[in-house]
């Protein structure tokens, strides 16, 4: 038998990202791959005990084989085509990690790796499981986008065109309803309703953070936030989630929370502190205790509930971004 994949089971690259169709296509890839002569050692788990490979578990931390991949695919263990492909690639990675370059197994793994990529290339990227909860979340986002007061949130803020030069100083993670909907359409970005709700919360939080309390945009965001909470509450409970809903707004601002906010604020740069002042000025101006030529004092005790939540989230976003930069 030829050790190259046949061309009789071509995959239609223009097919939709219907999960059932994608599973069928991926199963076709596995069938082609496992039928190649040289794939035989990779079709089953490595019998390291029987082969006397006592150091195998020490070298290969995450064993994988094509038979296991096929079974996981058949039983719906993979959420996306990306997860499926990652496990297949792990088979080759392990083989090349454990076996010496130039050995039969190493060369077979390298050859099969090329065969897999050729077979997998035409397969559309997308979900391998139907998620009814995410479909319902998508419908809710669509409904919200159609509301008259949602116009300002439907696409990314054109801060350059609107000459909002300080926008990115205040808003660390821009988000809009159009982006959320496109991510839902893509099918592979969100794995839970919680994740969708978190991004929705980000839309409202950003708008309330940047725009003055009482302004049209601030008020629209506040009303849409309340509406989204109501629409998503049942869906989150149905799907066994709800963490985002519970964590999005603390019921009471405690002394410990205020102390933690002050301590965290002390870690901010001067530029980041400008964002804090901006948020307080826009949302709770009475909390500005005093202003000098070089510094502004904010009375945390007089911050109203919503303003405190916005400031707290802004500070956490700033510190989280800094940690990510350090890791990079």
Sign, CA torsion 188/193/198/203: positive
Instruction: Report pLDDT for 10.
Output: 36
Would you give per-residue pLDDT tens digits along the chain (328 residues)? 444 444 333 333 333 467 888 999 999 999 999 999 999 999 999 999 999 999 999 999 999 999 999 999 988 788 789 999 999 999 999 999 999 999 999 999 999 999 999 999 999 988 786 667 888 899 999 999 999 999 999 999 999 999 999 999 888 889 999 999 999 887 668 877 888 998 999 999 999 989 988 899 999 999 999 899 888 887 877 665 555 555 555 668 888 888 988 898 888 888 888 888 888 887 778 888 765 656 678 888 888 887 888 888 888 878 877 766 665 5
Residues 139 and 89 in one domain: no
Instruction: Report pLDDT for 176.
Output: 96
Domain final residue, candidates 239, 263, 294: 239
| Tally of domains in the chain | 3
Residues 47 and 91 in one domain: yes
Instruction: Report pLDDT for 172.
Output: 86
For residue 250, tell me if it sits in a domain.
no
Residues 54 and 115 in one domain: yes
Residues 176 and 215 in one domain: yes
Domain of 305 in residue numbering reads as 255-326
Residues 112 and 67 in one domain: yes
Domain final residue, candidates 69, 95, 121: 121
The CATH number of residue 276's host domain is 1.20.1270
The model carries a pTM of 0.47
For residue 68, tell me if it sits in a domain.
yes
Instruction: Report pLDDT for 165.
Output: 92
For residue 93, tell me if it sits in a domain.
yes
For residue 265, tell me if it sits in a domain.
yes
Domain final residue, candidates 121, 146, 173: 121
Residues 27 and 86 in one domain: yes
For residue 299, tell me if it sits in a domain.
yes
Residues 175 and 104 in one domain: no
Q: Which of 43, 152, 60 is nearest to 99 (CA)?
A: 60
Instruction: Report pLDDT for 2.
Output: 46
Residues 143 and 225 in one domain: yes
Tell me how far apart the alpha carbons of residues 271 and 236 are, in angstroms, rounded to a whole number: 37
The CATH number of residue 194's host domain is 1.20.920.10
Residues 320 and 220 in one domain: no
**For the chain, how far is it from start to end, CA to CA, in angstroms?**
48
For residue 56, tell me if it sits in a domain.
yes
For residue 246, tell me if it sits in a domain.
no
Residues 183 and 260 in one domain: no
Q: Which of 144, 150, 154, 140 is nearest to 239 (CA)?
A: 140
Long-range Cβ contact pairs of 317-320 (< 8 A, separation 24 or more): 317/172, 317/173, 318/172, 318/268, 318/272, 318/275, 319/264, 319/267, 319/268
Residues 143 and 178 in one domain: yes
For residue 52, tell me if it sits in a domain.
yes
Instruction: Report pLDDT for 302.
Output: 85
Residues 163 and 222 in one domain: yes
């Amino acid at each position: 038998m030829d050790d190259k994949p046949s061309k009789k089971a071509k995959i239609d690259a223009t097919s939709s990202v219907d999960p059932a169709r994608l599973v069928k296509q991926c199963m076709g890839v596995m069938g082609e791959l496992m039928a190649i002569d040289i794939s035989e050692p990779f079709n089953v788990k490595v019998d390291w005990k029987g082969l006397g490979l006592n150091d195998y578990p020490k070298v290969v931390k995450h064993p994988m084989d094509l038979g296991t991949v096929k079974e996981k695919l058949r039983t719906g263990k993979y959420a996306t085509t990306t997860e499926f492909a990652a496990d297949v690639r792990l088979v080759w990675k392990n083989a090349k990690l454990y076996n010496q370059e130039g050995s039969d197994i190493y060369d077979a793994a390298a050859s099969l790796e090329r065969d897999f990529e050729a077979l997998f290339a035409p397969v559309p990227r997308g979900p391998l499981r139907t998620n009814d909860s995410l479909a319902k979340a998508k419908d809710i986002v669509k409904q919200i986008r159609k509301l008259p007061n949602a116009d300002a949130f439907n696409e990314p803020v054109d801060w350059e065109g609107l000459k909002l030069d300080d926008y990115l100083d205040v808003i660390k993670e821009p988000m809009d309803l159009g982006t959320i909907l496109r991510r839902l359409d893509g099918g592979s970005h969100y794995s839970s309703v919680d994740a969708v709700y978190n991004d929705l919360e980000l839309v409202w939080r950003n708008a309330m953070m940047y725009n003055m309390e009482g302004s049209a945009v601030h008020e629209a965001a506040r009303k849409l936030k309340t509406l989204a909470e109501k629409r998503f509450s049942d869906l989150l409970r149905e799907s066994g989630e709800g963490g985002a809903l519970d964590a999005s707004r603390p019921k009471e601002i405690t002394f410990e929370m205020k102390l933690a906010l002050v301590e965290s604020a002390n870690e901010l740069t001067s530029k980041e502190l400008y964002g804090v002042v901006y948020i307080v000025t826009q949302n709770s101006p009475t909390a500005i205790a005093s202003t000098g030529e070089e510094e502004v004092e904010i009375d945390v005790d007089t911050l109203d509930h919503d303003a405190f939540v916005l400031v707290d989230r802004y500070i956490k976003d700033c510190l989280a971004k800094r940690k990510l930069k350090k890791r990079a």
